[in-house]
Amino acid sequence: MAQASINSDYSEWGLSTDAGERARLLQSPCVDTAPKSEWEASPGGPDRGTTSTLGAVFIVVNACLGAGLLNFPAAFSTAGGVAAGIALQMGMLVFIISGLVILAYCSQASNERTYQEVVWAVCGKLTGVLCEVAIAVYTFGTCIAFLIIIGDQQDKIIAVMAKEPEGASGPWYTDRKFTISLTAFLFILPLSIPREIGFQKYASFLSVVGTWYVTAIVIIKYIWPDKEMTPGDILTRPASWMAVFNAMPTICFGFQCHVSSVPVFNSMQRPEVKTWGGVVTAAMVIALAVYMGTGICGFLTFGAAVDPDVLLSYPSEDMAVAVARAFIILSVLTSYPILHFCGRAVVEGLWLRYQGVPVEEDVGRERRRR
């Protein structure tokens, strides 16, 4: 594979005629071929994606929003209050948006369609392999965490519907092993099968609406709190600088969508860096509004006593909160396939490289393997 350094001339980047096929198969580069023609590389060429600008915004927002939304009130508490939490978010947002735009530029310049392919082209073979292994561990580890979150939320919803105390043993069909397996088979599997990530734009819209509902519930419960809810101490300043840094992982994870951003960029009808800048800015503003609404109101409602999962701080029998739990499940259900999509691409690329099978010889088996 032709390697290029970051400061190489644009004409020296390793471009390949099979980039369009790799965009569809999401496999890592393993052959050296000639550059694309100008017409093939243009937005109107045969490799043009199908995702609209608005659809891309919803996919990016959905990649950001998810179960991490529930941890922001606790992150504000750890950071030392509302002012520290907002300052931390705004400071990190500059680097997050810049990073997403740089990734799109590198993807366009190297003519690569996934995060790991961009790293291969820009940073070389060793860094590329390490990146692929890290992505595989991260994506599938997060997917396992998503299944656990689904089980936790389902347990509480079932307990409310069955009017049984939490932890009490019920019928076999309420066991979390069964409910998680059934949910994964009926909902997650169909969303994980498609070849293109652009398919997720429809499910992503529902997920984004669901997270807005969760935020609305947290805000409403702050304005009109239940009588039995007693807030703890409301911090106004960080206990130490270390406390601020302890809140950074939660906030950073909340906005993390870099692995899936490159295939989303290349699935757009017009994958241009300028347009992508508008997409990620709009997506981050939407995510920021949701996170700030949840973080500020959830923290002011419970103070230092807020649970790491803010929904656990509310009474279990509250039906509005139970609906919010259902929306969190919906959000996780639609976030899972996006991460799975990226993890599948990495494992596929590693496997083909290990087998020494060129991409163009493996096209016929792509559907079976997927």
Predicted pLDDT of residue 98: 95
> Would you put residue 35 in left (φ > 0), alpha (ψ -120 to 50) or beta?
beta
Q: Check pLDDT > 60 for residue 2.
A: no
Mean pLDDT of 191-196: 81
Domain 49-356 bears CATH identifier 1.20.1740.10 = yes
CA 282-288-289 angle, to 5 degrees, is 95
- Between CA 89 and CA 281 the distance in angstroms is 14
Burial class (CB in 10 A: 0-12, 13-18, 19+), 144: exposed
Q: Quick one: CA dihedral 329, 212, 68, 252, positive or negative?
A: positive
Query: 12-26, 36-50, 96-110, 263-277: lowest mean pLDDT where?
Result: 12-26
Per-residue pLDDT of 130-152, as tens digits, reads 998 998 998 888 899 889 888 88
% of the chain at pLDDT higher than 90: 24
In whole angstroms, what is the distance from residue 300 CA to residue 81 CA? Answer: 9
Least Cα distance to 264 among 34, 100, 120 occurs for 100
Q: Which residue has the higher pLDDT, 47 or 77?
A: 77
> Residues with Cβ < 8 Å from 26, sequence gap 6 or more?
113, 114, 195, 263, 341, 344, 345, 348, 349
For the cut 60, the answer to whether the pLDDT of residue 173 exceeds it is yes
Residues 335-347 have a mean pLDDT of: 83
| Confidence (pLDDT) at 281 | 95
**Core vs surface per residue 206-218: b (16+ CB within 10 A) or e:** ebbebbbbbbbbb
Residues 6+ away with beta carbon under 8 Å from 64: 254, 255, 256, 257, 283, 284, 287
Place of tokens 């519907």: 161
- Give the pLDDT band (50/70/90) at residue 209: confident
51: β partners? 268
As a whole number, mean pLDDT of residues 241-246 equals: 82
Chain position carrying tokens 């959905």: 62
**pLDDT attached to residue 291:** 92
CB-side neighbour CA atoms (13 Å) of 184 = 16
State residue 240's pLDDT score. 78
From CA 127, how far away is CA 221, in angstroms rounded?
A: 48
Q: 268 - beta bridge partners?
A: 51
Q: How confident is the model at residue 8 (pLDDT cuts 50, 70, 90)?
A: very low
pLDDT category of residue 41 using cuts at 50, 70 and 90: very low
The answer to whether 293 touches 219, Cβ cutoff 8 Å, is yes
Number of Cβ within a 10 Å radius of residue 91? 12
Q: Token pair 């009017």 is at which residue?
A: 163
| Higher-pLDDT residue of 39, 120 | 120
Closest to 292 measured CA to CA, from 202, 219, 210: 219
3-state secondary structure of 297: helix
- On average, the pLDDT of the chain sits at 79
Q: In the predicted model, is pLDDT for residue 295 greater than 90? A: yes
Q: Does position 367 have pLDDT exceeding 50, yes or no? A: yes
CA dihedral 160, 161, 164, 170 (to 10 degrees): -130
Q: Give the per-residue pLDDT at 200.
A: 65
How confident is the model at residue 24, as a pLDDT? 37
- DSSP element (H, E) containing 107: helix 82-110
- C-alpha 188/C-alpha 98 separation (Å) is 32
